[in-house]
Chains A and B, each alone.
Chain A
């Protein structure tokens, strides 16, 4: 790993808003593999952090390159006096629910396994909507919208301005490859939670109910899907320019290999 990586993270912090069942485990796993497990601070979903950023001293905090967990935007990163580069993956509301339900079936120690996993899918969905638990009621929008809560104007601003990159679950491999290429690290995300069970057909009425009660999440997902090439390119350009500013030699070595190596060569910056 080049010296530029340490210099980059002396000024920046990746903040991964890990929305459940969106490929977030694969991204977190990749960041740990690429940068080292000690560099990635994962915050458990119950908020009882194993290593509370607020309780860490400056030296310990300075070792952290990325923060990842099921926390809303803007809630934990304030403890790090660096520029926050927020990253999120989003998923289709119905596919997310299928994945989430499968996770419940596969995780007997999940705290809510007994409440929902015993029910057939359609009933579990109804129970979750009623209990406001899991990937319902625009959970993705609430997490990305942060304190302000979900509304479309705030979400659009979050995607376009607050977040360095938001992409769809299906593009997690592209995102990892891009980060790997820019930092001179090996590519290849491990899909730890993927496809442990066969996907199944969702009854149309249940799918319609899910989309209806997640209308904002659906809009968010559709927007990101439509724009993710641009959003990924923007993040890539930013990383390239920033790494070039910090460590010109290393940045030149890794440029033009990101996002599948399809980007045209960019001119080096030249002092007039």
Chain B
């Protein structure tokens, strides 16, 4: 059971009376780490995580329960479920280099006995699994990240840019999740320590050139999304920090000297790893 830390910024209740954090959880992008952090920060009663089919959907919840939700998260596409909340959405998403993500998910599904995708492709060796994914239209292929962020079956690049720049309050890379959680800490005035969750077992999986080319060809937009976010994430995080500092003034004044302080502090603690030739998928 994850417990909330205290004391919370007193402006938080007022903030969440008007706004709803909506996390588009793209699998294997450090989303579990982010959700775990925000659950410790806000308290479990304020988080509605729709990953489990047993969790009631927002439409099924009584209004008083919906009002207690501060963070809505799950593997749903942009815009889903939001209409059941009479609040402005503040959308968040993490994205990941597609090959790293593919390998991470493959290992995760392969090792997870209960994962619904296991019987569909993960019993196969990776090259065959990739072809199987493409054949049946399942798994992290065919620009799944772009489709999830735009809510479109066949998004154009302009749809993706619009989603990143306008629809989402922040999109950043999986390796910057610590920067994002540090920013939440600072703005909500609670020092919850970072804790990586749902990391896979260490290990390297090689991917042959032909399979790699196939992945690149069928995920061109996701590659482009990742590069775009990686190039722009300092600005995107800064913009998100400004939004929070403007709408959470008490925490902004108390917890951070400048708007960029939490980002800078987190940046100093970590550096973004570069994709390697072998595509070692350590963790998450």
| Contact digits for A151-173, partner B, Cβ 8 Å, 1 yes 0 no | 00110110111001000000000
B58 within 8 A of A: no
Closest Cβ of chain A to B200, distance in Å, is 23
B220 adjacent to A271 (CB under 8 Å): yes
A208 within 8 A of B: no
Within 8 A of A (CB), among B1-50: 14-15, 18-19
CB contacts between A and B, total, < 8 Å: 72
- Which residues on B sit within 8 Å (CB–CB) of A227? 242
Most buried by B among A11, A160, A237, A267: A160
- Which residues on A sit within 8 Å (CB–CB) of B243? 156-157, 160-161
Closest Cβ of chain A to B179, distance in Å, is 18
Q: How far is the CA of A83 from the CA of B158 in the complex (A)?
A: 11
Query: What is the interface of chain A mostly: helix, strand, loop, or mixed?
Result: helix
Q: Which residue of B lies closest to A157 (CB)?
A: B88
Q: How far is the CA of A153 from the CA of B157 in the complex (A)?
A: 32
Q: Which residue of B lies closest to A84 (CB)?
A: B166
Within 8 A of B (CB), among A1-46: 11
B162 adjacent to A272 (CB under 8 Å): no
From the candidates B98, B157, B216, B247, name the one contacting A156 in the complex (CB within 8 A): B247
Q: How far is the CA of A245 from the CA of B146 in the complex (A)?
A: 14
Interface-side segment among B67-75, B106-114, B222-230: B222-230
Within 8 A of A (CB), among B43-70: none
A271 adjacent to B166 (CB under 8 Å): no
Query: What is the interface of chain B mostly: helix, strand, loop, or mixed?
Result: helix
Q: How far is the CA of A269 from the CA of B227 in the complex (A)?
A: 7
B227 adjacent to A161 (CB under 8 Å): no
A267 adjacent to B231 (CB under 8 Å): yes
A160 adjacent to B161 (CB under 8 Å): no
- Which residues on B sit within 8 Å (CB–CB) of A160? 169, 239, 242-243, 246
**What is the interface of chain B, defined by CB distance below 8 A to chain A?**
14-15, 18-19, 88, 90, 98, 156-158, 160-162, 165-166, 169, 216, 220, 223-224, 227-228, 231-232, 235, 238-239, 242-243, 246-247
Show 30 residue pairs from A and B whose CB-CB distance is below 8 angstroms, ordered by the A residue. A11-B158, A83-B166, A153-B19, A156-B243, A157-B18, A157-B88, A157-B247, A160-B169, A161-B169, A161-B243, A164-B166, A223-B246, A227-B242, A230-B242, A234-B165, A238-B165, A238-B166, A241-B228, A242-B162, A245-B158, A245-B160, A246-B158, A269-B224, A270-B224, A270-B227, A271-B220, A271-B224, A272-B98, A272-B220, A272-B224
**What is the interface of chain A, defined by CB distance below 8 A to chain B?**
11, 83, 153-154, 156-157, 159-161, 164, 223, 227, 230, 233-234, 237-238, 241-242, 245-246, 266-267, 269-272
